Chain A
Amino acid sequence: MADALLELDDLAVHYQVGSRFQGGVKALKAVDGITLDVKPGECLGLVGESGCGKSTLALAIMGLVAPTRGVIRLEGRALGARPDRMETARTVQMVFQDPYASLNPRQTVRRTLADPLRLHGVGDKAEIEARVADMMARVGLRPEHADRYPHEFSGGQRQRIGIARALILRPKLVICDEPVSALDVSIRAQIINLLMELKDELGLAYIVISHDLGVVEHVSDRVAVMYLGRIVERGGWREIFENPRHPYTRALIAAIPDPFRRSAATADRKARGEIASALDPPPGCHFHPRCPLRADVCATQAPALEPIADGHLAACHFRDRTG
């Protein structure tokens, strides 16, 4: 697809861990062969639990870790081994999980927002001033607070500053890494609504990384589910949430506590046991030790990500079995 903003083609990031002297060097396959694309103005939800590789994937897209294999294409251009970070910075930006650790405590809001502009060649003082004020207003901060330091703001306001920083260079794609999970519950809706408004106003594309399926369902156009470095299922949000085909997706949905207790029938969909270490994933389908559907073939053959319907793919030997 030529019109994709971001394309990942068989992307893999492996880390060497351990030492030659203690137990030997092992390859940690944090991301292991991922093919994805994001179109302009689209929101892709990326779901997965710890060790699934979603954070490494984000770093690779930002050009902060080098892929072991595969290609990342931004607006059709493949990122080389040493990507142009300035160019990437103007196209992709990131919103972080922790609004406390993600702002420099010694920089005012103005400096946090103005420095990147200067760095990227916006020299005119008045223009910088105007863009900082405009961005602060857009994210719901009062421009007259520009000279305050992060500790003078609440958690929700800090996250707004983090969003303003991500948008100041007018990127086309924003990766939101767990954008609300560190915030107070009563503040989350403000930030989610803000992200959705900004997306429409500025025509942004998002990758929203989250383990909160409620959030992912609310914001996403398409959803990809990751487990131990691989995508196990992807498709439109409606297919993923109404007709999930991978047992892991079903287990994730069944794991959400249902306050209305309609979920009596989902007990057999839940996953058993613990997530394996990404250093030593189970052979075949990584999910098979926890899977309610597992058969002998699952332990020996890794299922490929294959289509069930148009745009809906699942990597399961029993992808055709519903319910």
Chain B
Amino acid sequence: MTTPLLEVRDLRIALDAGGRSHDAVGNVSFSIGRGETFGLVGESGCGKSITALSIMGLLRSPLSLAGGAIALDGREIQDLPAADMRRLRGKRIAMIFQEPMTALNPLSPVGRQIAEMFVLHERASWKEAWERAEDALRQVRVPSPERRVHDYPHQLSGGMRQRVMIAIALACGPDLLVADEPTTALDVTVQAEIVDLMAELCAAKGTAVLMISHDLGLVANMCERVAVMYAGRIVESQAADAIFAHPRHPYTQGLIGSLPLLSARSRHGRQKLREISGVVPSIVAYPPGCRFNPRCPAMTDICARDVPMAESLPDGGLVRCHHHG
């Protein structure tokens, strides 16, 4: 078996709140192969974004890594010194965020911000780096890149800024791109274009993608494998085709049943949406046993008592449920 590009084993992230430590994320394990696209789906507060930050080595107080291992190409990186981690970021792992405006430097032309990557990580001269920055903008299909390199972030639209972020992230040909809700702030038609662009560029460069989103449809559409997180744990992971066709965890089943999918009404008429009862639990008050049990239609005594183990499915997926069907 070959070493996966990224392997996360038993990740545990602690949140300090009011003098007590809570497990914001626990028992999270997954791996991503070279060039693979992997999606991490969940609602706000489920821990998907902080999982991404821990991979980047960017957890800050009150969050901290409390256990587990993160290996890149078989080499554990969770305890690397800050300076080594900095060299890794941008060069081998890159990240794009939901709101590009907060991630871009408002006082620097976007061309310079791209060029910086070549100077920093590849010791290119500034002159060469600027030329390559223009190429990078052309690759992300920014119109008239020779003029746009001189623009400041506020002069660009949201979609254009996200293109610039992608150009910066992919500048040094990283092995892994972590994309945290990359299109949530964008309009639907712009989102479609950005997602296509990301998929196309990453496929061409052989970059693996860890896509993080609340939108199961978007992730299933773009990724090869999908993991669903709920309340700090991965409850199910499957191939993207399978997760919509045969969701195994009651939470995933509930989510898919509750979405008003396009053209469902034309085919089946208007049906009442399946509701998931209750509310998303807060980190400081996770229920014991299976964390979905208070909202689960298949809940029995054991669910409130024992934490279900992750069980392997015959086709390579995983599910964490006492009663998975």
Tell me if B187 and A211 are in contact (CB < 8 A). Answer: yes
Tell me if B260 and A215 are in contact (CB < 8 A). Answer: yes
When A252-B188, A252-B189, A261-B241 are in contact, do A189 and B217 touch as well, CB less than 8 Å? no
Point out the residue from A155, A253, A273 that lies within 8 Å of B262, measured CB to CB.
A253
Tell me if B193 and A270 are in contact (CB < 8 A). Answer: yes
Count class of interface residues, chain A: 35 or more
Tell me if B221 and A189 are in contact (CB < 8 A). Answer: no
Binding site for A on B (CB under 8 A): 43-44, 143, 157, 159-160, 187-193, 195-196, 214-218, 220-222, 240-241, 244-245, 251, 254-255, 257-266, 270, 272-277, 279-280, 295
Tell me if B280 and A184 are in contact (CB < 8 A). Answer: yes
Point out the residue from B189, B258, B273, B279 that lies within 8 Å of A271, measured CB to CB.
B189
Which residues of the partner chain A approach B264 to less than 8 Å between Cβ atoms? 214, 217-218
Give the distance to chain B from A99, nearest Cβ to Cβ, in Å.
Answer: 12
Point out the residue from B218, B254, B275 that lies within 8 Å of A193, measured CB to CB.
B275
| Bitwise interface map of A from 230 to 272 toward B, beta carbon under 8 Å scored 1, else 0 | 0000000110011000000001111111111101000000111
When A189-B275, A218-B264, A256-B217 are in contact, do A270 and B241 touch as well, CB less than 8 Å? no
Tell me if B190 and A218 are in contact (CB < 8 A). Answer: no
Which residues of the partner chain A approach B274 to less than 8 Å between Cβ atoms? 189
Measured CB to CB, the nearest residue on chain A to B279 is A154
Point out the residue from A238, A255, A272 that lies within 8 Å of B191, measured CB to CB.
A255
Give the distance to chain B from A84, nearest Cβ to Cβ, in Å.
Answer: 36
Tell me if B215 and A257 are in contact (CB < 8 A). Answer: yes
Rounded to whole angstroms, the CA-CA distance of A275 and B251 in the bound complex is 36
Q: Does A101 contact B (CB under 8 A)?
A: no
Give the distance to chain A from B322, nearest Cβ to Cβ, in Å.
Answer: 20
Q: Does A144 contact B (CB under 8 A)?
A: no
Which residues of the partner chain A approach B217 to less than 8 Å between Cβ atoms? 256-259
Q: Does A73 contact B (CB under 8 A)?
A: no
Which residues of the partner chain A approach B160 to less than 8 Å between Cβ atoms? 274
18 residue pairs of the A-B complex, CB under 8 angstroms, read: A49-B188, A189-B273, A211-B188, A214-B260, A214-B262, A217-B264, A218-B260, A219-B260, A251-B189, A256-B188, A257-B220, A257-B222, A259-B240, A261-B221, A270-B196, A271-B189, A273-B193, A275-B187
Rounded to whole angstroms, the CA-CA distance of A275 and B160 in the bound complex is 11
When A185-B43, A257-B220, A258-B217 are in contact, do A50 and B187 touch as well, CB less than 8 Å? yes
Which residues of the partner chain B approach A214 to less than 8 Å between Cβ atoms? 259-262, 264
Give the distance to chain B from A8, nearest Cβ to Cβ, in Å.
Answer: 24
Q: Does A143 contact B (CB under 8 A)?
A: no
Rounded to whole angstroms, the CA-CA distance of A47 and B276 in the bound complex is 26
Give the distance to chain B from A75, nearest Cβ to Cβ, in Å.
Answer: 28
Measured CB to CB, the nearest residue on chain B to A184 is B43
Give the distance to chain A from B316, nearest Cβ to Cβ, in Å.
Answer: 19
Closest 9 CB pairs of A and B: A255-B192, A189-B258, A218-B260, A49-B187, A257-B221, A189-B273, A259-B220, A214-B260, A257-B218
Tell me if B157 and A275 are in contact (CB < 8 A). Answer: yes
Measured CB to CB, the nearest residue on chain B to A237 is B265
Q: Does A190 contact B (CB under 8 A)?
A: yes
Given A185-B258, A212-B260, 11 more contacts at CB 8 Å? A211-B187, A214-B260, A217-B263, A218-B265, A256-B188, A256-B262, A257-B222, A260-B245, A270-B192, A270-B196, A271-B189
| Bitwise interface map of A from 148 to 175 toward B, beta carbon under 8 Å scored 1, else 0 | 0000001111000000000000000000
Measured CB to CB, the nearest residue on chain A to B282 is A154
Rounded to whole angstroms, the CA-CA distance of A272 and B193 in the bound complex is 7
Q: Does A27 contact B (CB under 8 A)?
A: no
Q: Does A187 contact B (CB under 8 A)?
A: yes
Rounded to whole angstroms, the CA-CA distance of A241 and B191 in the bound complex is 20
Tell me if B157 and A274 are in contact (CB < 8 A). Answer: yes
When A217-B262, A218-B265 are in contact, do A186 and B241 touch as well, CB less than 8 Å? no
